Amino acid sequence: MDAEGWKAQGTYHSIRGRRVFAVDSGGERPCMAVLHGYPTSSYDFHQVLPRLATRYRVIVHDHLGFGLSDKPRDYSYSLHEQADVALALWQELGVGSAHLVAHDYGTSVATEILARYELGYRPVELRSLTLCNGSMHIELAHLRVIQKLLLSETLGPLVARVGSQRVFSYNMKKLWGDQALLSRDELDAMWELLSRDDGRLRLPQITQYLRERRRFWHRWIGALEECPLPANILWGTADPVAGRDIAELHHAEIPQSRLALLEGVGHYPMLEAPERWSDALLDLLELGANTTTPEAEPLEPPVP
- Cα 303 versus chain centre, distance: 24
CA distance 212 to 108: 9
Q: In the prediction, which pLDDT does 179 show? A: 92
56-77 mean pLDDT? 97
Q: To which H or E segment does residue 7 belong?
A: helix 3-9
| Cβ-contact 36, 68 below 8 angstroms | no
The pLDDT confidence band at residue 301, using thresholds 50, 70 and 90, is very low
| Cβ-contact 59, 9 below 8 angstroms | no
Q: How many residues does the chain have?
A: 304
Q: In the prediction, which pLDDT does 256 show? A: 86
130-147 mean pLDDT? 94
In the three-class reduction of DSSP (H, G, I as helix; E, B as strand; rest coil), residue 289 is classed as coil
Q: In the prediction, which pLDDT does 275 show? A: 97
CATH number of 3-287: 3.40.50.1820
40-59 mean pLDDT? 98
Asked whether the predicted pLDDT for residue 297 surpasses 80, the reply is: no
Q: Which residue has the higher pLDDT, 201 or 303?
A: 201
| Cβ-contact 49, 58 below 8 angstroms | yes
- Can you list the positions of beta strands (E) in 152-256? 231-236
CA distance 251 to 258: 7
Over residues 190-227, the pLDDT tens digits come to: 999 999 999 999 999 999 999 999 999 999 999 999 99
Strand 125-132 and strand 97-103: pairing? parallel
Q: Is the pTM of this model over 0.95?
A: no
Q: Which residue has the higher pLDDT, 293 or 271?
A: 271
Q: In the prediction, which pLDDT does 34 show? A: 98
The mean pLDDT of the chain is: 93
- How much of the chain exceeds pLDDT 70, in percent? 95
| Range of weakest confidence among 155-169, 181-195, 284-298 | 284-298
Asked whether the predicted pLDDT for residue 291 surpasses 80, the reply is: no
Q: In the prediction, which pLDDT does 163 show? A: 84
Q: In the prediction, which pLDDT does 299 show? A: 43
Which residues, at least 6 apart from 73, have a Cβ–Cβ distance to it below 8 Å? 198, 201, 202
Cα torsion at 87, 222, 132, 231 (round to 10°)? -80
In the three-class reduction of DSSP (H, G, I as helix; E, B as strand; rest coil), residue 12 is classed as strand
53-67 mean pLDDT? 98
CB neighbour class for 170 (10 Å; exposed up to 12, middle 13-18, buried from 19): exposed
